[in-house]
Amino acid sequence: PLRTQPPGLPEPDSRVTFRKYLVLTGITIFSTAGDSLLARGMKEGGGVSLHNVSGLLLAVLNPWVTAGILLLLAFFSCYMSALSWADLTYVLPATSLAYVLVALIGHFRLHEEISPTRWLGIALIAAGVGFVAAGPSVTPRREHQSPHEVAQEPVPSEVES
């Protein structure tokens, strides 16, 4: 038998409602904006090393870095919410539109060079998003049975001879 939840817990709703689409949109927007602001701030501050803790702490005082961190905290809040009602294999690909947005911001706002090969990879990611988003947000899981329970199941009549 197929089961999505342990006994006693309510079955999750696999439909993606408007509110759930807002959460997925929040993930995409907050991660894109947060990563972009963090990159801008870190480029202003120069190199930071994990061996130089004071330099790392000073980098956090940069307003771009601080804003990026706050947006990434909003991203993690939305991400945790999405993982509470959908599978990881649905949430992560469905929100990978952020890769496309980050590439566009990186190219046009941060003036980063993006090779044709990288653009091709980004296009493949974008195409994959469509395939994943079209499927269910929660996949059914098989109930685990002990070998003893399997041995006690009746044999189907087609197998008996």
Residue linked to tokens 């817990």: 9
Q: What is the DSSP string of 112-127?
A: ----HHHHHHHHHHHH
* 8 A C-beta contact, residue 89 and residue 139: yes
CA 12 to chain centre: 19
pLDDT tens, position by position, 13-34 = 567 788 888 999 999 999 999 9
**pLDDT score at 38:** 94
What share of the chain in percent tops pLDDT 70?
A: 76
Q: What are the Cα distances from residue 66, in Å, to 57, 59, 60, 73, 78?
A: 11, 9, 6, 11, 19
Average pLDDT over residues 135-143: 69
- The model's confidence at residue 151, banded by pLDDT at 50, 70 and 90, is low
Of residues 92, 94, 89, 84, the one with CA closest to residue 13 = 84
What is the C-alpha separation between 10 and 29, in angstroms, rounded? 31
pLDDT of the residue at 1:
44
For residues 65 and 72, what is the distance between their CA atoms, to the nearest angstrom?
10
Which of the residue ranges 67-81, 94-108, 137-151 would you say has the lowest mean pLDDT? 137-151
Contacts of 156 by beta carbon, 8 Å cutoff, 6+ apart: none
Q: Which of 11-15, 16-20, 111-115, 130-134 has the highest mean pLDDT?
A: 111-115
> What is the band of 3 on the pLDDT scale with cuts at 50, 70, 90?
very low
Q: Ranked by mean pLDDT, which of 71-80, 99-108, 114-123, 130-139 comes out on top?
A: 71-80
Query: Which residues, 6+ apart, have CB-to-CB distance to 124 below 8 Å?
Result: none
Q: Is pLDDT at 2 greater than 50 in this prediction? A: no
Of residues 99 and 129, more confidence is placed in: 99
For residue range 51-75, list pLDDT tens digits in order: 888 888 888 999 999 999 999 999 9
